[in-house]
Structure 1
Amino acid sequence: IYYSSAGSHSPHHVGQEWIAKYKGKFDEGWDVLRERNLQNQIKAGIVPEGTQMATAPDSIPKWDSLTPQQQKIYARQAEVFAAFTEHSDHEAGRLVQAIDDLGELDNTLVIYITGDNGASVEGDRSGQWNWNHYLNGVEETPDEQEAKLDEWGGPTTYPMYHMGWAIAFNSPFALSKQVAGDFGGTRNGTVIHWPERIRQGGGIRTQFSHVNDVAPTILEAANLPMPTTINGIKQIPMQGTSLVYTFDNPGAKERHNTQYFEIIGNRGIYHNGWMARTTVMYPWMAPNRMNTVAADDGWQLYDTTNDFSLSNDLAAQYPDRLAAMKQKFMEEAIENQVLPLDDRLLERLVPSVAGRPTLLGERTSIDLYPYAWNMVEDSILNVKNVSNSVTAYVDVKGGDEDGVIFSQGGRFGGWSLYVENNKPSYTYNYMGELFTFTSYKPLPNGQSEIRFELDYDGGGVGKGADVRMMLNGEVVAEGRLEKTIASRFSIDEGADVGLDRGSAVTVKTIGPRRYSAYGGQIDKVTIQIFPKPSDQKAN
């Protein structure tokens, strides 16, 4: 069984009864919590006695420097996150209990990893009630967030916490997810449970291990060889080291001796107890960089056998060792297709900005048909920051045919072409702000062409546009969008023909059917873009 919980990744969604349990628990702030976490870790034997607290960046604000309004908002963010985390553990516990109810728990290997990276700073400097704002470089104001506090964690929000909480949750480390050379970005607590096989249970194993050790561990436990071919296709040799050797020998010599890390140019290399790293930028400081990929500068060196939290940089003391570690990183990077290094962050989301080819290449038109559902953004034409049109060819038979003809994104950002009260309509959802344009004419019986045109202003990303709707060649609605989404409609909701799966772009159900499914006949939907050199060039 592979069970992958949504917790505790954003969005943090959980029932109010869980959130209520944590009311007031974070009012002291992230600085106090960070210190308390370290003391509790030492007391529990998880962290070695004498571990120092790594120094957090100066750009992380002190809790006492915040306004009372900010403290109120940010405390609520942590309450929701804590509730979501507990609920995720509870649901994993239900799975374990089901195995126990079958009488098979002692004979079952359970590997429980508490995350896929360290706590995230992707909430940036304020957190968000709608994390899509972060993806598109739009800041939320304290007043806007305070107005959403009672809804925070519910279905009308897509919440993420302030980056200060990430640093506290990653105690005693200094950094976070996206900083690949810091254990705050990569280390997760892991529990392995198998009473019938593990004779020395209940203890702690300190050997370096990595997520790529999980598959080799399972294969060895099941007495299965690592596959060399699957369906006739030769496999890349499986990396990682089985952890079975630690089950009955807590002090066994470490076998996973080398591991590289890299994301957005931030990189590190672990080798025989030493960790070397360089940080190009803190995610919340982007696009400002501390070091550059080109210069290959800013490297630090740590002895993890004596420095659990990576708080004592030994680069100046051991320059030859650091040089060897840098060479080791390059060897691993070449072997594992890490190169070329790319130190961009949000720019990567838009293929045209990132310089990344897409499935569609240079095409400017695409035809889509019913039952094309859940299409991710990069699989169809990108209609952001460019003039575009959507044309639907429908055949109206009469009766209640209201519903969605085409939608992209969801409640927290996107657009939708639909029929409501027998009139064609178009809604542009600017990350929670809805702009709707409705035909003054009803849709006639028989074949019709519904076309919506967006004439992009150009002069940079996220700019405005003049819009118009046409029904069988006649303009039936027109208006203006003063702003458009610059980077991403959604990272987890796609595009659908004939319905709107997931959360609704229009924040309501259109027509009587599930997913606002269109009741008439859709022959084809055509999306076109009309790029100009001036579209993304700032004025």
Structure 2
Amino acid sequence: MNRRQMFLSTAKTALAGAIGGSSLGLKPASAQAQAVKAPEVKAGPPSLEAGPPNVSVLPYPDPAFKGVIGRTTEDSKPDFPQPVSAPEGAPNILLILTDDVGFGASSAFGGPVPTPTFEALAANGLKYNEFNTTALCSPTRAALITGRDQHTVHTGIIMERSLGYPGYDSLMPKSAGTVAEILRGNGYSTAWFGKNHNVPAWQSSAVGPFDLWPTGLGFDYFYGFLGGDVNQWNPTLFENTTPIEPKEKLTGEAKANYHLDADLADQAIHWIEQQQALAPNKPFFAYYAPGATHAPHHVPKDWIAKFKGQFDQGWDKLREETFARQKKLGVIPQDTILTPRPANMPAWESLDARQKELFARMAEIYAAYLAYDDYNIGRVIEAVKQEGLADNTLIIFIEGDNGGSAEGTLQGTANEVCVIGNGAAESFDYLYSIKDELGGPLHYNHMPVPWSWAFDTPFQWTKRYASHFGGTRNAMVMSWPKRIKDVGTLREQFHYVTDILPTILEAAGVQAPDMINGAKQLPIDGVSMAYTWDDAKAPTRRATQLFEMFGNRGIYHNGWMASTTPLVFAWEPEPKGITPESFNWELYDLSKDFSQGNDLAKAMPEKLKQMEELWWAEAGRNNALPLNFSPMATVQAVFQRPSLTRGRTHFTYRQGTVRIPEGTAPTVKNTSFTITAKLNVPAEGAEGVVITQGGRFAGWGLVILDGKPVWAYKNTQQPNDGIRLSGPGRRLAPGDHVVSVDFAYDGKKGEFGKGGAYVLKVDGAEVARTTISHTVPFIYSVDETLDVGEDRGTPILEDYADRMPFKYNGRIDKVEIHLEGGNAALDVPDIDHQ
């Protein structure tokens, strides 16, 4: 008898209603999804008889001792407490979520990119063409793992733009337990591979706290990264909460060809194989969330070569071709409208030959990235098959956490972070000159916006715009051979990302608890999708859904959708002085208009007014207020968020202190500062990194090269966009030395990105000086860190690129950073890495 059975051994009745309707504790509201009891599972369901029928507390209370205690073991009877075991027959669960993939990108949904893994899964499962996300990374991921609206779980926006309001402070509450906590508490092994963008910036360092890291959210194991994106060639990774360097133990070809997407697959395969070897009777829940296809678009050259010439027709023609394929496949209704190209995007035919050549190349790289990711996901699924688990494994594959990304500007970029985050300029001639290097380790590239629009066919708008399906509609497939029999067919019910958690719980045969670790749980917002498995024509059970992002709003209700018209695109400056009244509203009858192509606002003003009022009611109920239209509100919030550095003027670091994220490091931007290193030069001479922050694409570093101190600063990776300062004369003699850098900032308080003067000193004597015309105003990197005594990530100078991490070969007693006027803590005031 296992622990679940022992807890209430006299209980005979099963959990009434399984996971449907009110048994999940759906949030009470007339406008919310209807609390409809889930139908009885007809084939191959896990038994619920093992579970306590009326107990919804995790972890389960310790069982009573059932043995006998006498004076000695001779007259006693032992009774070991048994671990919780999952319900009999509970399936393994593989939840896959890719990044920045539009509805019309993958071949499974009519797109131009071959995704045979996604197609095969669809052929052996069900396609869903009305599945919706939040339009942005962190919110989608928070809603996915908690089953609650993203605003309800305090994640209405990405971590870096968090505001001091309950719906937007980025601190997921204990009252919103995750699917992993529930499954682990019911006998599952749990693991997370890949992207996590749900750790608040000030909690992402080695000192934690770690309760909002994956291992604090119910996952036994985590292998991945914390930020919005990561360098696929040189990633900053964690294993559980420990920083690791995945290439550190590799040599030769393996090190040269390392790519994170393949590494994630390797790690997931290893974990599945190990889990099955050690506990074959214990089901697993694996959450697989690669960084693909978020920028940077990094992919092996041989994969890029597969797509040469395939996008020469341009984005307008591609959209028409995709639209035709979608109709032929039946993934969109035959009467769907192909929405027109926005006026501020150029027609493909208006471009010159060089523009077409460069932009087509950028699309080839993106397509290769998506295809490569599909290949590696296929390797993970193949491992499940090799273990003999395919029949009883529920695979949920969501192709994208939002629509295609419009953060690449109209001409694409070779450095997404600096162009979008810092406003750095890139000439077309520069981009054209390095077109053959794009996709490789020397750049942080993204494609032009119109390609993302084309990959969102047939919808309007893109990622970030929760008002329209171009931002929120994602292709999705479910497969479970033991249970889902109507394979290869389409499901057209309207669903939202919060519906995944209750679907998984119903499949597993466990209930959503009322209490987890002593915290009373919020009601689940999601509606289980299991009712769709046997009945393609089953009425949609989600009645209402709120959408909101950056003030762009939408509301779904019983087949109708009201949407605000966005004011700007992602690459355009956010206007000032916006109010709710600045937006016009659109109205769509989705029963006749799949793509939001026929605006009925003028024809049906009363219906539109009802929908607007419903939006405000739902917003108030779901923590979506107050709306934020002001970029300055984000800047001001930086000074209010918890911080490890705010107000400090002096920082001391020791040799070997590495991987300090930008959000927890001192901000040497927009201010004067002094960096002082006390170090010892060994007899054979000094070599190595003293201190650095950022890397190849932006940052700074104090390095000893060939025995001489060098100060380097980079605004971007472009030639001559930075400075290099080194002292003339002899190498540093063996013994103790003090090497320092003084920077006098030209800008006044509140002025960003101005230049200044650097002075390099050795033992108090000036050895070199120079000026710089401008500096990085806001962010060096999403994923690179501050390191002392070595350089993790990419190098600040290519001189030591082949010697990374280029550890200092002597002793560094300490490195001190002194800031004039205190730390401004302006780390990431207005950058969107979602």
TM-score tier, shorter chain, comes to over 0.9
Residue 456 of structure 1 corresponds to 745
Q: Residue 319 of structure 1: CA displacement?
A: 2.5
In terms of mean alpha carbon deviation, does 425-434 or 110-119 score higher? 425-434
Per the alignment, do residues 369 and 294 of structure 1 end up closer, same or farther by CA in structure 2, a change over 3 Å counting?
A: farther
Residue 74 of structure 1 corresponds to 359
Inter-partner Cα distance in structure 2 for 1:340 and 1:108: 42
Matched, 1:254 2:545: no
Inter-partner Cα distance in structure 1 for 2:615 and 2:667: 36
Partner of residue 16 from structure 1, selected from 288, 293, 301: 301
Residue 529 of structure 2 corresponds to 243
Asked if structure 2 preserves the Cα contact closer than 8 Å seen for 1:376 and 1:495, the reply is yes
Asked if structure 1 preserves the Cα contact closer than 8 Å seen for 2:795 and 2:801, the reply is no
Per the alignment, do residues 185 and 510 of structure 1 end up closer, same or farther by CA in structure 2, a change over 3 Å counting?
A: closer
Per the alignment, do residues 199 and 297 of structure 1 end up closer, same or farther by CA in structure 2, a change over 3 Å counting?
A: same
Q: Looking at CA atoms only, which structure, 1 or 2, has the larger radius of gyration?
A: 2
Asked if structure 2 preserves the Cα contact closer than 8 Å seen for 1:279 and 1:290, the reply is no
SS in structure 1 of the partner of residue 289 of structure 2: coil
Matched, 1:99 2:388: no
Residue 676 of structure 2 corresponds to 391
1:155-234 aligned at under 5 Å gives the runs: 155-234=441-520
Deviations 1:475-534 (A, max 9, x none): 12211112211221111222222221111122342796x5122222333322232259xx
Deviations 1:157-186 (A, max 9, x none): 111011011111111112101111110111
Asked if structure 2 preserves the Cα contact closer than 8 Å seen for 1:281 and 1:291, the reply is no
Asked if structure 1 preserves the Cα contact closer than 8 Å seen for 2:577 and 2:630, the reply is no
Deviations 1:61-106 (A, max 9, x none): 1111111111111011101111111111111111111111122112
Q: Residue 341 of structure 1: CA displacement?
A: 2.2
Per the alignment, do residues 300 and 94 of structure 1 end up closer, same or farther by CA in structure 2, a change over 3 Å counting?
A: same
Residue 706 of structure 2 corresponds to 421
Residue 525 of structure 1 corresponds to 815
Partner of residue 724 from structure 2, selected from 419, 436, 445: 436
Asked if structure 1 preserves the Cα contact closer than 8 Å seen for 2:315 and 2:454, the reply is yes
Matched, 1:316 2:602: yes
1:17-36 aligned at under 5 Å gives the runs: 17-36=302-321
Per the alignment, do residues 370 and 338 of structure 1 end up closer, same or farther by CA in structure 2, a change over 3 Å counting?
A: farther
Inter-partner Cα distance in structure 1 for 2:353 and 2:346: 14
Per the alignment, do residues 194 and 450 of structure 1 end up closer, same or farther by CA in structure 2, a change over 3 Å counting?
A: same
Residue 298 of structure 1 corresponds to 584
Per the alignment, do residues 364 and 291 of structure 1 end up closer, same or farther by CA in structure 2, a change over 3 Å counting?
A: closer
Deviations 1:287-331 (A, max 9, x none): 254993342531212122211111111222333332332233223
Inter-partner Cα distance in structure 1 for 2:311 and 2:400: 21
Asked if structure 1 preserves the Cα contact closer than 8 Å seen for 2:659 and 2:785, the reply is yes
Per the alignment, do residues 229 and 96 of structure 1 end up closer, same or farther by CA in structure 2, a change over 3 Å counting?
A: same
1:23-172 aligned at under 5 Å gives the runs: 23-131=308-416, 132-172=418-458
Inter-partner Cα distance in structure 1 for 2:619 and 2:588: 20
Quick one: which amino acid aligns to residue 524 of structure 1? K
SS in structure 2 of the partner of residue 515 of structure 1: coil
Asked if structure 2 preserves the Cα contact closer than 8 Å seen for 1:409 and 1:489, the reply is yes
Quick one: which amino acid aligns to residue 470 of structure 1? K
Asked if structure 2 preserves the Cα contact closer than 8 Å seen for 1:374 and 1:496, the reply is yes
SS in structure 2 of the partner of residue 26 of structure 1: coil
Asked if structure 2 preserves the Cα contact closer than 8 Å seen for 1:280 and 1:289, the reply is no
Quick one: which amino acid aligns to residue 465 of structure 1? G
Gaps of 5+ in 2: 1-285, 827-834
SS in structure 2 of the partner of residue 2 of structure 1: strand
Query: What is the aligned-residue RMSD (CA, Å)?
Result: 2.5
Inter-partner Cα distance in structure 2 for 1:385 and 1:266: 32
Inter-partner Cα distance in structure 2 for 1:294 and 1:48: 34
Using structure 1 for the length normalisation, give the TM-score: 0.92
Inter-partner Cα distance in structure 2 for 1:229 and 1:417: 52
Q: Residue 394 of structure 1: CA displacement?
A: 2.6
Asked if structure 1 preserves the Cα contact closer than 8 Å seen for 2:587 and 2:600, the reply is yes
In terms of mean alpha carbon deviation, does 432-441 or 140-149 score higher? 432-441
Inter-partner Cα distance in structure 2 for 1:182 and 1:518: 52
Inter-partner Cα distance in structure 1 for 2:671 and 2:566: 32
The percentage of aligned residue pairs carrying the same residue is 38
Per the alignment, do residues 220 and 510 of structure 1 end up closer, same or farther by CA in structure 2, a change over 3 Å counting?
A: same
Asked if structure 2 preserves the Cα contact closer than 8 Å seen for 1:266 and 1:343, the reply is no
Per the alignment, do residues 510 and 439 of structure 1 end up closer, same or farther by CA in structure 2, a change over 3 Å counting?
A: farther
Per the alignment, do residues 364 and 511 of structure 1 end up closer, same or farther by CA in structure 2, a change over 3 Å counting?
A: farther
- Structure showing greater relative contact order (alpha-carbon pairs closer than 8 Å, 6 or more residues apart): 2
Inter-partner Cα distance in structure 1 for 2:817 and 2:472: 41
Quick one: which amino acid aligns to residue 117 of structure 1? N
SS in structure 2 of the partner of residue 236 of structure 1: coil
In terms of mean alpha carbon deviation, does 94-103 or 334-343 score higher? 334-343
Asked if structure 2 preserves the Cα contact closer than 8 Å seen for 1:291 and 1:298, the reply is no
Asked if structure 2 preserves the Cα contact closer than 8 Å seen for 1:426 and 1:437, the reply is yes
Per the alignment, do residues 21 and 54 of structure 1 end up closer, same or farther by CA in structure 2, a change over 3 Å counting?
A: same
